């Protein structure tokens, strides 16, 4: 490959284009699993070559349960990516994980249903039982945390991401249950993305951007979508400098 991919980035809500990319090209990848969320944009950033894909589409047209996670991961792998950072908008359950906080989680609980969760979900495919004890690649997690530190950006090390179905937000009772289960964050796109990356042998880590306190965890009687996107916009500004430091290493 003429331009090897040093890092692939999957952008979540609020991150539909990657700022600072130069020498860009767009590719629509045909996959055995149908269309990806959109074109994969490759370009130069911090002296390296990255691939960027907007998980929900560049116009946020795909709700979490309609994202073709298999096609997205397959397309990035097909282009030569071996390391993937998933940027995810989340709600905070733990008290220190409030709006605009950045977290690099280390565990996940999957509450989703009805999604294609494996590349084995195809007739004739080999059935593979991956080890998913640690759902995120430890070396990439630590590199992200180190990069955030070098960029002067606070990031919390560890936490359990609870993945819900969406697109609706959760009830107070559901969040209370998740808290009892040990979840620190709640989001709608963390799974099956992490598991599919593991099946493909990709290094994968999550950069979670807290947009709001989850239901019943903050002072607000009702969660405001406008406030969510305002917090997301502010938190998203930290993504390029963190990834720039990651690529330098």
Q: Which pLDDT tens digit goes with each residue over 84-116? A: 999 999 999 999 999 999 999 999 999 999 999
Q: Specify the residue for token string 């994969």.
A: 40
What are the backbone dihedrals phi and psi of residue 62, each rounded to the nearest 5 degrees, phi first? -110, 115
Q: Is 68 known to sit in a ligand binding site?
A: no
* pLDDT confidence tier of residue 3, bands split at 50, 70 and 90: low
User: What are 55's two structure tokens?
Assistant: 């998980």
Q: What is the mean pLDDT of residues 221-225?
A: 76
User: Does residue 165 sit within a domain?
Assistant: yes
CA dihedral (38, 44, 45, 48) positive or negative: positive
**In whole angstroms, what is the distance from residue 134 CA to residue 241 CA?**
26
Q: Is 189 known to sit in a ligand binding site?
A: yes
User: Does residue 72 sit within a domain?
Assistant: yes
Percentage of the chain exceeding pLDDT 70: 98
173 or 219, higher pLDDT: 173
pTM of the predicted model as reported, rounded to 2 decimal places: 0.94
Q: What is the pLDDT of residue 59?
A: 87
> Cis peptide leading into 192, omega within 30 of 0?
yes
Best CA proximity match to 106, nearest among 145, 141, 140:
141
Q: What is the mean pLDDT of residues 125-141?
A: 93
User: Does residue 25 sit within a domain?
Assistant: yes
**In whole angstroms, what is the distance from residue 164 CA to residue 42 CA?**
30
Q: What is the mean pLDDT of residues 207-233?
A: 88
Inter-helix orientation angle 239-248/138-150, to 10°: 110
* pLDDT confidence tier of residue 187, bands split at 50, 70 and 90: very high
Q: What is the number of domains present in the chain?
A: 1
**In whole angstroms, what is the distance from residue 19 CA to residue 192 CA?**
26
Q: What is the pLDDT of residue 4?
A: 85
**In whole angstroms, what is the distance from residue 241 CA to residue 153 CA?**
9
User: Does residue 76 sit within a domain?
Assistant: yes
Q: Is 249 known to sit in a ligand binding site?
A: no
Q: Exposed, middle or buried: residue 28 (CB in 10 Å: 0-12, 13-18, 19+)?
A: exposed
What are the backbone dihedrals phi and psi of residue 92, each rounded to the nearest 5 degrees, phi first? -95, 130
Q: Specify the residue for token string 């699993």.
A: 33
Three-state SS at 212: strand
Q: Is 13 known to sit in a ligand binding site?
A: yes
User: Does residue 97 sit within a domain?
Assistant: yes
Q: Is 138 known to sit in a ligand binding site?
A: no
> Cis peptide leading into 167, omega within 30 of 0?
yes
User: Does residue 221 sit within a domain?
Assistant: yes
Q: What is the mean pLDDT of residues 152-178?
A: 97
**In whole angstroms, what is the distance from residue 121 CA to residue 108 CA?**
21
Among the ranges given (46-50, 66-70, 125-129), the one the predictor scored with the smallest mean pLDDT: 125-129
User: Does residue 2 sit within a domain?
Assistant: no
**In whole angstroms, what is the distance from residue 27 CA to residue 22 CA?**
15
Q: Is 45 known to sit in a ligand binding site?
A: no
Name the residue range of residue 134's domain.
7-248
Q: Specify the residue for token string 């990356």.
A: 197
Q: Is 115 known to sit in a ligand binding site?
A: no
User: Does residue 1 sit within a domain?
Assistant: no
Q: Is 178 known to sit in a ligand binding site?
A: no
Among the ranges given (67-71, 178-182, 229-233), the one the predictor scored with the smallest mean pLDDT: 229-233
* pLDDT confidence tier of residue 1, bands split at 50, 70 and 90: very low
Q: Specify the residue for token string 């963190």.
A: 242
Partner residues linked to 185 by β-bridges? 92, 161
Give me the CATH number covering residue 231: 3.40.50.1580
Among the ranges given (1-10, 124-133, 148-157), the one the predictor scored with the smallest mean pLDDT: 1-10
Q: Specify the residue for token string 């989340």.
A: 90
223 or 58, higher pLDDT: 58
Does the pLDDT at position 221 exceed 90?
A: no
**In whole angstroms, what is the distance from residue 152 CA to residue 150 CA?**
5
């Amino acid at each position: 490959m003429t331009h090897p991919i040093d890092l692939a980035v999957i952008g979540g809500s609020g991150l539909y284009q990657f700022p600072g990319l130069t020498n860009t090209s767009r590719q629509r990848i045909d996959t055995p699993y149908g269309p990806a969320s959109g074109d994969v944009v490759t370009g130069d950033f911090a002296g390296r070559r990255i691939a960027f894909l907007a998980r929900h589409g560049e116009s946020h047209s795909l709700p979490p349960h309609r994202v073709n996670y298999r096609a997205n991961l397959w397309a990035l792998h097909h282009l030569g990516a071996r390391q993937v950072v998933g940027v995810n908008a989340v709600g905070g359950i733990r008290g220190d994980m409030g709006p605009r906080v950045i977290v690099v989680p280390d565990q996940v609980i999957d509450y989703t249903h009805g999604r294609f969760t494996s590349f084995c979900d195809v007739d004739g495919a080999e059935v593979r039982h991956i080890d998913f004890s640690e759902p995120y690649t430890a070396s990439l997690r630590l590199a992200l945390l180190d990069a955030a530190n070098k960029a002067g950006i606070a990031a919390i090390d560890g936490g359990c991401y609870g993945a819900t179905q969406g697109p609706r937000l959760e009830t107070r009772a559901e969040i209370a249950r998740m808290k009892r289960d040990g979840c620190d964050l709640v989001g709608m796109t963390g799974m099956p993305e992490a598991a599919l990356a593991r099946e493909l042998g990709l290094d994968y880590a999550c950069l979670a951007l807290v947009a709001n306190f989850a239901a019943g965890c903050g002072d607000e009687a009702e969660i405001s979508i406008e406030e969510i996107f305002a917090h997301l916009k502010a938190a998203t500004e930290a993504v390029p400098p963190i990834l720039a430091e990651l690529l330098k290493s």
